[in-house]
C-alpha cells in the first residue's frame, strides 16, 4: 500500500520523533509500516523515507540507493559524489556519533519538498548507531552519498529539512536544475553563482 508523503508545512514534519522500543519494532504494526514505507519510497522514487514524512513522528527510516538510480550519472559524477548502490535497510532510533570535520556540498532534494533542490553542506563521513528491523543493534560507518542520505533522514527525525542547512542562493525548482545545472560539477555551480568554494 502506498502511503501519502507529507509536504513541508505539515506539523508532524517539524516535531522531534519519538524512539521505538524493541517490542514495538518487532510488532506486526511496525513491520507492516516498514513494508509500506519501502513500497512508497520505491514508487516516489527516492533513496530514503522517514516515518515523519508519512505522518508518523517515529524514529524510523527506510533507505535504499538502487543500482538503476545510478545509470544516468557519469563515472565522474559518481566519483565526485562517492555514490554507490546501498542495499535496502531500516534505521531505528539512530544516533550520529563521529563525523568528519570535512564538509562536502551537493544538490539535495526531498520527497516532502517536491519539485525543488539546493546545495547542502554535509559531513563527508559519519558513524551511526541504530536498531534494525529485528530490533538488533547495528553500527555503520558511511561516507560519500550514503553518509548524506543517513544525515538527511536523521534530520527528518529531528524535525529538520535540508532547507534548514542549504545555501539559500542555490534553492531552485527541479525544472531549472535540469535545464541549467544538471551536468555541472559543484565547483562549476559555485563559480557561476559566485559562491564561496
Catalytic residues: 153
Question: Which of 18, 1, 30 shows the shortest CA–CA distance to 133?
Answer: 30
Residues 7-28: what's their mean pLDDT? Answer: 97
Q: Is residue 21 situated within a structural domain?
A: yes
Q: Is residue 5 situated within a structural domain?
A: no
CATH code of 117's domain: 3.90.45.10
> Quick one: what percent of the chain has pLDDT higher than 70?
99
Q: How many domains does the chain have?
A: 1
Residues 75-109 have pLDDT tens digits of: 888 898 899 999 999 999 999 987 778 899 999 99
Q: Is residue 1 situated within a structural domain?
A: no
Region class of 9: left (phi > 0), else alpha (psi between -120 and 50), else beta: left
How many of the other CB atoms lie within 10 Å of CB of 135? Answer: 16
Q: Is residue 81 situated within a structural domain?
A: yes
Q: Is residue 33 situated within a structural domain?
A: yes
Give the C-alpha separation, 110 to 162, whole Å: 8
Give the C-alpha separation, 84 to 142, whole Å: 11
Q: Is residue 69 situated within a structural domain?
A: yes
Q: Is residue 72 situated within a structural domain?
A: yes
Q: Is residue 4 situated within a structural domain?
A: no
Domain of 117, in residue numbers: 11-192
User: Cell 524512539, residue?
Assistant: 19
Amino acid at each position: 500500500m502506498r502511503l501519502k508523503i507529507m509536504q513541508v508545512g505539515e506539523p508532524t514534519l517539524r516535531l522531534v520523533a519519538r524512539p521505538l522500543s524493541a517490542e514495538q519494532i518487532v510488532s506486526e504494526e511496525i513491520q507492516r509500516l516498514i513494508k509500506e514505507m519501502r513500497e512508497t519510497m520505491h514508487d516516489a522514487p527516492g533513496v530514503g523515507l522517514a516515518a515523519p514524512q508519512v505522518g508518523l513522528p517515529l524514529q524510523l527510516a527506510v533507505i535504499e540507493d538502487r543500482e538503476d538510480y545510478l545509470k544516468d550519472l557519469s563515472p565522474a559524477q559518481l566519483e565526485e559524489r562517492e555514490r554507490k548502490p546501498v542495499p535496502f535497510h531500516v534505521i531505528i532510533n539512530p544516533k550520529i556519533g563521529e563525523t568528519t570535520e570535512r564538509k562536502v556540498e551537493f544538490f539535495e532534494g526531498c520527497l516532502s519538498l517536491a519539485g525543488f533542490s539546493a546545495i547542502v553542506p554535509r559531513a563527508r563521513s559519519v558513524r551511526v548507531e541504530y536498531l534494525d528491523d529485528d530490533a538488533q543493534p547495528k553500527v555503520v560507518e558511511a561516507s560519500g552519498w550514503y553518509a548524506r542520505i543517513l544525515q538527511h533522514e536523521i534530520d527528518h527525525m529531528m524535525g529538520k529539512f535540508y532547507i534548514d542547512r542549504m545555501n539559500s542562493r542555490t534553492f531552485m525548482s527541479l525544472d531549472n536544475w535540469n535545464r541549467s545545472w544538471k551536468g555541472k560539477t559543484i565547483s562549476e555551480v559555485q563559480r557561476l553563482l559566485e559562491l564561496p568554494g
